[in-house]
Chains A and B, each alone.
Chain A
Amino acid sequence: ETGVTQSPTHLIKTRGQQVTLRCSSQSGHNTVSWYQQALGQGPQFIFQYYREEENGRGNFPPRFSGLQFPNYSSELNVNALELDDSALYLCASSSPTSVQETQYFGPGTRLLVL
């Protein structure tokens, strides 16, 4: 177990709806990254938050947004859901105490958009 938790574990939404996914980082970690993993693919980087500020973003549209709270937990919000948003959403926490920090992943939230 990594100490990174995510909720909910599963979610079903319909096209056009909005969704919020949550992540609690491992104790002592102040950086959270979010990834989207489609079936049969590797995770794709969405964005990273460090000390409540966005600290890097992948090739995802603005309807993917996030927040990080003072306790370093984080939310991923997706507006105007599309069918292609169906995927496993993973968050990972890390602590930039060295040049290369290891990311520890949560179990993921599986989102299905109908």
Chain B
Amino acid sequence: SQELEQSPQSLIVQEGKNLTINCTSSKTLYGLYWYKQKYGEGLIFLMMLQKGGEEKSHEKITAKLDEKKQQSSLHITASQPSHAGIYLCGADDNNNDMRFGAGTRLTVKP
């Protein structure tokens, strides 16, 4: 099975600062998903990356998948308190299930 390692585990940034969260896979990624979760709530879909070198943006969040398709990064520009939450990367194992990393807890200080 595919293991996903996320770093850092937690992050505290000042409002307005940029930040990056990383997700590394032990195997080639066929589909890499980024989700955001408020504590104790469901996951909100952010982006899905499929092709090596692919990059997608939504508002101030940009996600990239490296050429080898084993690492993805999520970058937030000019962070706001509304960006606070737990960011999870997930990967489709091509076996009808999805594996998730343990998550990165982001706190944005006003």
Contact = CB atoms under 8 A, between A and B. Distances in A.
Interface of A: 2, 4, 6, 33, 40-45, 48, 50, 55-56, 58, 88, 90, 92, 100, 102-108, 110
B102 A42 contact: yes
Given A33-B97, A100-B30, A100-B48, A2 B40 contact: no
Contacts of B43: 43, 90, 92, 105
B82 to A, nearest CB: 16
A43 B27 CA distance: 19
B26 to A, nearest CB: 15
18 contacts: A2-B42, A2-B44, A4-B42, A33-B97, A40-B102, A41-B103, A42-B100, A42-B102, A45-B97, A45-B99, A48-B96, A48-B97, A55-B96, A58-B97, A102-B48, A105-B45, A106-B42, A108-B41
Nearest to A41: B102
A92 B97 CA distance: 11
B27 to A, nearest CB: 16
Contacts, number: 64
Interface string B27-48: 0001101010000111111001
B14 interface: no
Contacts of A56: 95-97
Contacts of B4: 42
A108 B35 contact: no
A45 B101 CA distance: 12
B57 interface: no
B78 interface: no
B50 interface: yes
Given A56-B95, A100-B48, A100-B92, 20 more contacts: A2-B44, A6-B42, A40-B102, A40-B103, A41-B103, A42-B4, A43-B43, A44-B100, A45-B97, A55-B96, A56-B97, A88-B40, A92-B43, A102-B33, A105-B42, A105-B45, A107-B41, A107-B42, A108-B40, A110-B40
